[in-house]
Amino acid sequence: MLVRLFFKLRAAKIPVSVTEFLTLLDALNHHLAHGSVDEFYYLARSALVKDETHYDKFDRVFGEYIKGIENVADLLLQEIPADWLRKEIERLLTDEEKERIKSLGGFEQLLETLRKRLEEQKERHQGGNKWIGTGGTSPFGAYGYNPEGIRIGQDSSRQRRGVKVWDAREYRNLDGTTELGTRNIKIALRRLRKFAREGAPEELDLDDTIKSTARNAGWLDIKMVPERHNAVKVLAFFDVGGSMDDHVRASEELFSAVRSEFKHLEYFYFHNFLYESVWRDNHRRYNERITLPQIMRTYGHDYKLVIVGDASMSPYEIFYRGGGIDHSNDEAGATWLQRMLDTYASAVWLNPEPEKHWEYTESIEIIRKMMSNRMYPMTLEGLDDGMRQLGRRQGMPKSVAPVALET
């Protein structure tokens, strides 16, 4: 009966297992949700979804399931940055298709319409009766885009009172993962955690010694255990916007993987290069900023620093005061990066740009030098190396003095 819902949920990458599905059926058998769609919704959610970050996805799939319309499930990107979308499309489209778009009025026109629709959707959305939907079967249908026409927004089903519950999508902000299936990256990141458990020297296990001695009827029985640093602490910085748009997807995959792997993980966003402040919430990047000195005061030296960025920019943005791309910074970015490296001895820079292109971009070479070569490509192998580097117990890195270029 509900098998279709089950597979829809799985298709939307909500980790639902057969056990949980059977539990739901069992609950229905016990008349726990009798004759009310609302109750069924609550019951299904509590039986099938075990993480509030999936609530939003669940709401969407459920709404769609109830309406019996085949779409949306794969449309999990709710706010699509136009620049990124365009690049993605350019990458995906064949020349022939591009020609067709031109005949439809060109990119600008289409994007403009799309933007309008998105805005419209955002406004009406608060009323809780619309969302983006896709109708196409083209490869970019998943991104809410179709050269033969954009179909966004659809009528709410007015006759169902309960629909508003999931249509309101109150859990949207909790959705930290726009992309799942990050198994590969997880494996690499796990290495860091594993190291923390093994590599350290042994210490006396007092509890076990007492226990074994007692069990041994008073004969001393010394027990040793590896010293445990149970919590690997990580500060992660993610580059967003600008030239990183191509890599948004890759970084977010890494981001969603990184979230579950450590006990202490603090993540921040920046644009192009580290300056005096960063932000935690992309939607509030202009009013909720955290300064780097604050970060350096708050998080101890034992945190490990992971920076994810393509490091592709003009060298001015690194070395010059006021070189920042969106604002005028009082001190050069290089100074700030150096301060961070002085504070956090364990640091790596992960670069999604293919390694063979690095030498052709001046800024990548500069940053790599500043990181004392600790820049790794964002491949499984690169991550592996990077994590191994982070795991190493190291003294202060050999710092490359910031080059004075100021005039």
Partner 1 sequence: MTRFAGTDSYIATDDLKLAVNAAITLQRPLLVKGEPGTGKTMLAVEVAAALGRPLFQWHIKSTSKAQQGLYEYDAVSRLRDSQLGDTKVHDIANYIKKGPLWESFQSNAPAVVLIDEIDKADIEFPNDLLRELDRMEFYVYETQQLVRAAHRPAIIITSNNEKELPDAFLRRCFFHYIRFPDEETMRQIVDVHFPGLKKNLLKEALEVFFQIREVPGLKKKPSTSELLDWLKLLLAEDVPPETLRADSKAAIPPLYGALLKNEQDVHLFERLAFMARRTG
Q: Which residue, 11 or 22, is less far from partner 1 as judged by CB?
A: 22
Token digits for 49? Answer: 């979804």
Tally the residues of the chain: 407
Instruction: Read off the amino acid at residue 130.
Output: K
Among 79, 119, 170, 331, binds partner 1 (CB under 8 A): 170
Residue 102 sits in the site that holds partner 1 (CB under 8 A): no
Q: Which stretch binds partner 1 (CB under 8 A): 50-58, 88-96, 137-145, 239-247?
A: 50-58
CA angle 1/75/98 to nearest 5° reads 135
Question: DSSP label at 66?
Answer: H
For 123-175, the DSSP string reads HHHHHT---------SGGGGGT--TT---------TT-TTHHHHHT-TTGGG-
Residue 109 sits in the site that holds partner 1 (CB under 8 A): no
Residues 55-94 that bind partner 1 (CB under 8 A): 55
Among 260, 314, 373, 399, binds partner 1 (CB under 8 A): 260
Among 2, 23, 104, 345, binds partner 1 (CB under 8 A): 23
Q: Which residue, 69 or 214, is less far from partner 1 as judged by CB?
A: 214
Among 288, 302, 331, 342, binds partner 1 (CB under 8 A): 288
Instruction: Read off the amino acid at residue 6.
Output: F
- Closest alpha carbon to 247 in 357, 146, 173: 357
Residue 284 sits in the site that holds partner 1 (CB under 8 A): yes
165's CB contacts (< 8 A; 6+ apart) are: 38, 41
Provide φ and ψ at 362, rounded to 5°.
-60, -45
Residue 227 sits in the site that holds partner 1 (CB under 8 A): no
Q: Which residue, 150 or 292, is less far from partner 1 as judged by CB?
A: 292
* Binding-site ranges for partner 1 (CB under 8 A): 15, 17, 19-20, 23, 26-27, 30, 32-33, 38-39, 42-43, 45-47, 49-52, 55, 170-171, 210-211, 213-215, 217-218, 230, 259-260, 263, 284, 287-288
